[in-house]
Amino acid sequence: MKKNNKFIFGNWKMNMTYNEVSAFSKTFNKLTRKDKILKKTNIQYGVAPTFLSILPARSMLKSNVIVGAQNAAGIEKGAYTSQISYSQLKEFDINYVILGHSEVRQYLHESDTMINAKALKLLDNKMIPIICIGESLAEYKKKKTIAVLEKQLVADCANISPQLASQVIIAYEPIWAIGTGITPTINEIKTTCNKIRKILVNIFGKAGNSVRILYGGSLKPENALDILSLNNVDGGLIGGASMKAESLYKIITSCPEYIRVKKQNEK
């Protein structure tokens, strides 16, 4: 996985019925199939549906669309009612898993220790953890953002070897920006993601530069270009805007690489 290629990933949360997934897939496939510019880029993109919709999405979407999961148990099998194992996902070639989303931390009470254990298990099985970090509104107002993020990163990445750093994706989502329509300023996103990069280098050494950093939190077509053009923003984790095929497609085509290839093609 090359860090300099943007990674755009939709988190559908507890949304999208079978019929909605079908409608989304038809439209999204049509948009991407006819896009000759997109085919010339190395942009990676995909979605994380509900567990019920993972396999339908996998069969309906084109093969180059990554289909991932919103969470996974870090245990292979056993008496864990309601859980889905990482090994059950891998069996169906579902290799990207979101870990530690703020809603999972809040509602399911998952700790950094649990998130780290899951990340290690995924990496051991050649799967990709997308580890979410972010600060609350109270922490943001008290200017504790960096301290909170550093604490999460150190705990969530514990015992991950520098050799596996390039297989780790970090998604920075300020909790107060998720689903609110409120987005940090471009300068705030830039400053925070630059700090995250420094923390990752402190954790992994030079290998920290190979970790992808995604931004999430009210990322939409209207602000995608400005955010995705920042040096230490390697892509986006998209919520509401990813549930409409046209909207997700517009975000993908806002990637600097897409715009650059398009301009070259017009010459």
Model pLDDT for residues 1-12, shown as the tens digit of each residue: 445 689 999 999
Told to judge if 188 belongs to the known catalytic residues of this protein, a careful annotator would answer no
Average pLDDT over residues 110-139: 97
Look at residue 180 in the predicted model and tell me its pLDDT. 82
Residue whose token pair is 């997934």? 21
Alpha-carbon distances of 88 from 55, 85, 93, 129, rounded to whole Å: 12, 5, 9, 15
pLDDT at 23 over 70: yes
Average pLDDT over residues 44-70: 97
- Structure letter (DSSP) for residue 136: -
Residues in Cβ contact with 104 at an 8 Å cutoff, skipping those fewer than 6 apart: 70, 71, 110
Alpha-carbon distances of 96 from 21, 206, 211, 232, rounded to whole Å: 19, 24, 15, 21
Contact present, 233 and 188 (Cβ < 8 Å) = no
Look at residue 265 in the predicted model and tell me its pLDDT. 87
Q: Which of 55, 53, 64 lies closest to 21, judged by CA?
A: 53
Look at residue 181 in the predicted model and tell me its pLDDT. 82
Sign of CA dihedral 260, 261, 265, 266: negative
Under the phi-then-psi rule, with left for phi > 0, alpha for psi from -120 to 50, and beta for the rest, what region is 112? alpha
Least confident of 95-99, 177-181, 226-230: 177-181
Least confident of 21-25, 44-48, 174-178: 174-178
Look at residue 3 in the predicted model and tell me its pLDDT. 55
Q: Which of 6, 28, 35, 16 lies closest to 239, judged by CA?
A: 16
- Of 20, 101, 103, 139, which is the active-site residue? 101
pLDDT at 62 over 70: yes
> Average pLDDT, whole number, for the chain?
95
Told to judge if 101 belongs to the known catalytic residues of this protein, a careful annotator would answer yes
Look at residue 183 in the predicted model and tell me its pLDDT. 83
pLDDT at 196 over 90: yes
Q: Which of 152, 169, 154, 155 lies closest to 203, judged by CA?
A: 154
Look at residue 267 in the predicted model and tell me its pLDDT. 73
Average pLDDT over residues 104-112: 96
Look at residue 178 in the predicted model and tell me its pLDDT. 85
- Of 76, 150, 173, 188, which is the active-site residue? 173
Confidence of residue 34 (pLDDT cuts 50, 70, 90): very high
Greater confidence (123 vs 217) lies with: 123
Residue whose token pair is 């600097």? 256
Residues in Cβ contact with 115 at an 8 Å cutoff, skipping those fewer than 6 apart: 99, 100, 131, 155, 156
